[in-house]
Amino acid sequence: MTLDSRIPSGPLQQKWDKFKADQKLINPANKRKYKILVVGTGLAGSSAAASLAELGYQVETFCFQDSPRRAHSIAAQGGINAAKNYQNDGDSIWRLFYDTIKGGDFRSREANVYRLAQVSVNIIDHCVALGVPFAREYGGLLDNRSFGGAQVSRTFYCRGQTGQQLLLGAYSTLSRQIGAGRVKSHPRCNMQDLVVVDGKAKGIIVRDLKTGKLETHMGDAVVLATGGYGPVFYLSTNAMGCNVTATYRAHRRGAYFANPCFTQIHPTCIPVTGDHQSKLTLMSESLRNDGRIWVPKNPGDKRSPEQIPDSERDYFLERKYPSFGNLAPRDISSRAAKEACDAGRGVGEGGRGVYLDFSDAIKRLGDKLIKERYGNLFDMYHHITNENPYKTPMRIYPAVHYCMGGLWVDYHLMSNIPGLFVLGEANFSDHGANRLGASALMQGLADGYFIAPYTISNYLASTKPGEYSTDSQEAKQTLADVQDRINKILNIHGKRSPMSFHRELGKVVWDYCGMARSKQSLDTALKRIPEIREEFWRNVSVPGSGDSFNQGLEYALRVSDFLEFAELLAEDAMAREESCGAHFREEYQTEDGEAKRNDAEYAYVSAWEYKGPGNKPQLHKENLSFENVHLAVRSYK
């Protein structure tokens, strides 16, 4: 199968308008005959479900949490980008597009990114209309702040809880549709598989987590907005429930998985303190607006930070990247922190940490203003570490945060399986090899509010409604496959908990396929992952039954998918013999340690096809052509 990205012809600036002008429409009275299944209720899922219901489609939503409001979009802190140019500082749609393409190290599609920048302005307007309480200036107008990888202030925010407020906005509009009977919501339901009928996505199998019952739901189109796969590393800033199951199961049914090795390591997280840890906590990138990052100049300097004079500190981001300083993009900042710690200059227990110091900002602006800007983040840090960041610098270290990779989609956000749409973090489309801060919220809402309602309508317009049945052979077979897998896992009766396997897997993926990768380390990962998986299927212990509320079983099923997916991730990292964005292959770097891209051979999207258990996946390439931007060396110096 060849990958057709279905990008409209014509100049970049007119592609989305051209799509809308050419798209097929469905008469309002006929819309209600179509049913759309939306899996995941984060920013992308909730906003898509609500917008599709507003148009008149029958919509059903599914989420594993106990309420749609709890999806992990809620944890995003810093903000959402939009090319409003309210600050009069030279922003424009073009500039947001260019920053995002460059930030992604030229591994994303021009057309998708340009559309994202175009609709960014509508997102802010719509969210304000929904009552999202964005931060404002004294004159009553919207406030902005700066974020990494940009030299303009275009980030809108709600204190340190922007994701929460945007999600609650989307949740409220979804709730309105649920209350009106236009959306049926299925909380505490975990998607287990995708039903493909005659090559088209027509349904899903879910496990009702409250009762353990497996259910088949069929519809005219399926939307996956199920987020990223960060917990394949075990420790990440993701929620405990974030998982790869929905996208990986769709992959096993034929959907191509794109760029799985592009995983973002966020530079500002609270460092690991011990083996007991279950998650890492992010400290918003917005802190880098006022905080200065440094380590002692001399390796092994054990003095407390206050005792180290300025002349003996290395403000390494300001030194290496003077034009962006502490606001250098995430991949670059993370690697610089790792480099400092590898050189023995790290701080805190274990030496895996760098200082994020607010003393200059506090001197300049005062406690009160700092509290207003970052109060909840400072409190959170204080609470977790028992250290007061108003008095002593924060200690931070990079941690897994976001997945740029995801299911392959075309310009319509449809995967290679017709009828299967993939939105938000679950797709691969807009961030290339590295995502800029405050762009995930923008993409989730762009996909859900402003893109999918058009492209899904266009798909449905050439589909006859109601052509599916839960009694079809395909639906029954998929259900039976899911049941078999659950029975198999319950009947192992081994000696190890699912968590112990998850930890072991995560350590392998982090150590050998984390912030830096090499052929050698990836060889180790590709050897170790199947060994862990083999032991899992022989020795995992999952007590209880399948037909009841069983959190141990839920978890074991997710871990089993991570165990397969991890191998795909390592394969992709192995196949991409260049360094770009978050993917840093040690063999490919410049003399001063920067990522060395290979545009001649690797300016493509890797899309992997599943070839059955035990077989190597097949690589398909979607070549990226850059007609509007010049492929430059990405410099933030």
Partner 1 sequence: MNLTLKVWRQSGPNDKGSFEIYQAKNIVPDMSFLEMLDVVNDELMANGKEPISFDHDCREGICGSCSLVINGRAHGPTRGTTCQTYMRNFYDGQVIVIEPWRAKAFPVIKDLSCDRSAFDRIIQSGGYVSANVGGAPDGNAMPIPKVNSDRAMDAAECIGCGACVAACKNASAMLFVSAKVTHLGLLPQGQPERAARVQKMVSQMDQEGFGACTNQYECEAACPKSIPADFIARMNCDYLSASVTPKQ
The position carrying tokens 């960041």 is 389
Tokens of 501: 């396997």
Residues 104-123 that bind partner 1 (CB under 8 A): 122
Q: Determine, following the binding rule CB under 8 A, whether residue 535 of this chain makes contact with partner 1.
A: no
Q: Checking phi first, is residue 351 left (phi over 0); if not, alpha (psi -120 to 50) or beta? A: left
Residues 536-565 that bind partner 1 (CB under 8 A): 541-544, 548-552
Q: Determine, following the binding rule CB under 8 A, whether residue 141 of this chain makes contact with partner 1.
A: yes
Pattern 338-377, partner 1, x by CB under 8 A = ----------------------------------------
Amino acid identity, position 461: A
* 70 is a catalytic site residue: no
Residue closer to partner 1 by CB (options 140, 300) is: 140
Least distance to partner 1, CB of residue 450, Å: 7
Task: Look at residues 478, 463, 466 and name the one whose alpha carbon lies nearest to residue 216.
Answer: 478
Candidates 9, 27, 276, 311: give the one binding partner 1 (CB under 8 A). Answer: 276
Pattern 397-436, partner 1, x by CB under 8 A = ----------------------------------------
Q: Determine, following the binding rule CB under 8 A, whether residue 89 of this chain makes contact with partner 1.
A: no
Residues 457-496 that bind partner 1 (CB under 8 A): 493, 495-496
Judged by CB under 8 A, the stretch of 145-153, 234-242, 321-329, 426-434 that binds partner 1 is 234-242
Q: Determine, following the binding rule CB under 8 A, whether residue 67 of this chain makes contact with partner 1.
A: yes
Buried b (16+ CB within 10 A) or exposed e, 68-83: bbbbbbbbbbbbbbbb
Least distance to partner 1, CB of residue 254, Å: 30
Task: Look at residues 200, 179, 206, 237 and name the one whose alpha carbon lies nearest to residue 460.
Answer: 200
Candidates 19, 171, 316, 324: give the one binding partner 1 (CB under 8 A). Answer: 171
H helix runs in 256-358, sequence order:
316-320, 330-342
Tokens of 493: 């009766």
Tokens of 622: 């979607």
Tokens of 413: 């956000």
Our measurement of the distance from residue 30's CA atom to the centroid of its chain's CA atoms, rounded to an integer in Å, reads 35
Residues 235-264 that bind partner 1 (CB under 8 A): 237, 239-241
Tokens of 325: 């300083």
Candidates 34, 248, 449, 610: give the one binding partner 1 (CB under 8 A). Answer: 449
Judged by CB under 8 A, the stretch of 23-31, 271-279, 436-444, 478-486 that binds partner 1 is 271-279
Q: Cα(429)–Cα(63) distance, rounded to whole angstroms?
A: 23
Judged by CB under 8 A, the stretch of 196-204, 270-278, 323-331, 518-526 that binds partner 1 is 270-278
Judged by CB under 8 A, the stretch of 11-19, 279-287, 423-431, 559-567 that binds partner 1 is 279-287
What letter does residue 420 receive in the DSSP assignment? E
Candidates 35, 159, 576, 597: give the one binding partner 1 (CB under 8 A). Answer: 159
Least distance to partner 1, CB of residue 314, Å: 28
Candidates 86, 94, 315, 537: give the one binding partner 1 (CB under 8 A). Answer: 86
Q: Are 564 and 601 in contact (CB under 8 A)?
A: no
Residue closer to partner 1 by CB (options 405, 498) is: 498
Torsion over CA of 27, 32, 34 and 37, rounded to 10 degrees? Answer: 130
Write down the catalytic residue from 70, 107, 145, 330: 330
3-class SS letters over 318-379: HHHCCCCHHHCCHHHHHHHHHHHHHCCCCCCHHHCCEEEECHHHHHHHHHHHHHHHHHHHHH
For partner 1 (CB under 8 A), the number of binding residues is 85
Give the sheet arrangement for strand 313-314, strand by strand.
Answer: 263-269, 394-403, 354-357, 292-296, 313-314
Residue closer to partner 1 by CB (options 171, 411) is: 171
What letter does residue 46 receive in the DSSP assignment? H
Q: Determine, following the binding rule CB under 8 A, whether residue 130 of this chain makes contact with partner 1.
A: yes
Burial class (CB in 10 A: 0-12, 13-18, 19+), 486: buried
Q: Cα(431)–Cα(151) distance, rounded to whole angstroms?
A: 18
Burial class (CB in 10 A: 0-12, 13-18, 19+), 181: exposed
Amino acid identity, position 276: H
Candidates 5, 46, 65, 579: give the one binding partner 1 (CB under 8 A). Answer: 65
Q: Cα(529)–Cα(520) distance, rounded to whole angstroms?
A: 14
Candidates 45, 79, 187, 230: give the one binding partner 1 (CB under 8 A). Answer: 187
Our measurement of the distance from residue 196's CA atom to the centroid of its chain's CA atoms, rounded to an integer in Å, reads 25
Q: Determine, following the binding rule CB under 8 A, whether residue 84 of this chain makes contact with partner 1.
A: yes
Least distance to partner 1, CB of residue 378, Å: 14
Q: Determine, following the binding rule CB under 8 A, whether residue 54 of this chain makes contact with partner 1.
A: yes
Amino acid identity, position 527: K
Residue closer to partner 1 by CB (options 68, 514) is: 68
Residue closer to partner 1 by CB (options 73, 472) is: 73
Residue closer to partner 1 by CB (options 201, 557) is: 557
The position carrying tokens 């509320």 is 549
Tokens of 311: 């002349």
Candidates 23, 87, 92, 281: give the one binding partner 1 (CB under 8 A). Answer: 281
Residue closer to partner 1 by CB (options 119, 265) is: 119
| Residues identified as active-site | 330
